[in-house]
Structure 1
C-alpha cells in the first residue's frame, strides 16, 4: 500500500525568525492604529460649552452619597445605576435606584438623580428625586437613553396587597425641561 506523496510545506515550519517577524508586524499594526483613531465628535448641544473647553468627567459615584432613606438597622443598597448626560451640559449624571436591605417582601425603591459638583474633591449630591420610597413603588428596567430616564414602576392597587407581590405596572419617562425633571409616559407604552 502506497501513501500519496505529501509535498514538504516549508511555510508550516516555524523558526525564531518567523516569530520575530510576526511580533514586529503585530507591533507595527498596533502602533499605527493608535495614531489613526477617529477624531472627537464636534457637534454640540444647545447650552453646552465648546468641545475644547470641557474635560471628560466621571459620572457621580452613588456609593459616596447619603440617601434619604429610613432603614433602621438595615443597610441602604444601591440596586441599579444608569449614567448619561441628562441636562445637556456635557457632564454625566447618575440615576441611582436605592432601597433598604430588608430580609423579606419587596422594599420600595427611591430613584435619585446625582450630579458631581465642579469643585475639586466635592462629593456627589442628589439633585432630584424621581421616585420617593413613600410611594411604595419598585423601579425596574431603569435606563438613561437620549437624555431621558425610563423605568417600569411596579406598585400596588391597594394597601391590602402584600408587599411581596406588586400587582400594578406603569411605564415612566423623565426628561429635563428648563429647571426640573418632567414625568411622562413613553410613546411605546401608549401604543398597544
Structure 2
C-alpha cells in the first residue's frame, strides 16, 4: 500500500513544523497590552462572564457566521474577587474544522456583555484547541496543528500541550516538553 504524500515525514517537514510551532507559541506569549493585572471594574462581581454573550474578534466570513463556544473554564486570575472566563471559540461551520481561538473574558464596567481581556490563541494561528483545563491561576490545553497546508483540516498531524500561568500581571506561556525531543506527530 502506498502512503499518501502528506503522511510521509521527512526531516524538512519536521524542521518546518518545529519552526512554525515555535512561531505560533512565541506569538502566543506576546499578549495584548490590555492583558494586565488592572482590568476594567466589574459590572457583576463574583460571577464569571458568560462566554455565550461575548463578542469575539473572529473573522467568520462575509455572512457574519455565528460563533460556537467549544469549551470554557473560570477562575479569579488577578485576585480581585471576580472570576474571569476562559473560552475556546470558533466560527460555526456546516462542515470541516475551523480554527479555534482562546480568549480570557472579563466583565465590562458599563455593559452586561463580557469583554476580551486577553487572547491566548488567535484564530489566525490556525490551531485546534482541545482539553482546556483551568486550575487556580493556570490554564492548560492541547494545541493541534498542521505540518503543511496540504494536510487535510480534519486531521491535524502535530500536537503540543501548553499552559499559561498568571504571573506579574500577565499570562506567561509555557510549552510542555515534547516526547523524544522532536515535534510530536
TM tier, smaller: 0.5 to 0.7
Q: Choose the corresponding residue for 1:123, options 113, 118, 134.
A: 113
Shift of 1:104: 2.0
Moved over 3 A (4+): 119-122, 189-192
Q: Choose the corresponding residue for 1:183, options 169, 173, 179.
A: 173
Q: How does 1:1-192 map to 2 (within 5 A)?
A: 57-72=46-61, 73=63, 74-117=65-108, 119=109, 121-186=111-176
Larger Rg: 1
- Alignment check: 8 A CA contact 2:160 2:178 kept: no
Shift of 1:137: 0.3
Map Cα deviations across residues 113-135 of structure 1 (whole Å, 9 max, x no partner): 00114x36543110100000111
Which structure 2 residue ranges, 5 or more long, are not aligned?
A: 1-36, 38-43, 181-185
Give TM-score scaled by structure 1 length.
Answer: 0.64
| Cα RMSD for the two superposed structures | 2.2
Give TM-score scaled by structure 2 length.
Answer: 0.67
* Greater RCO (Cα-Cα under 8 Å, separation 6 or more): 2
Give aligned pairs, total. 136
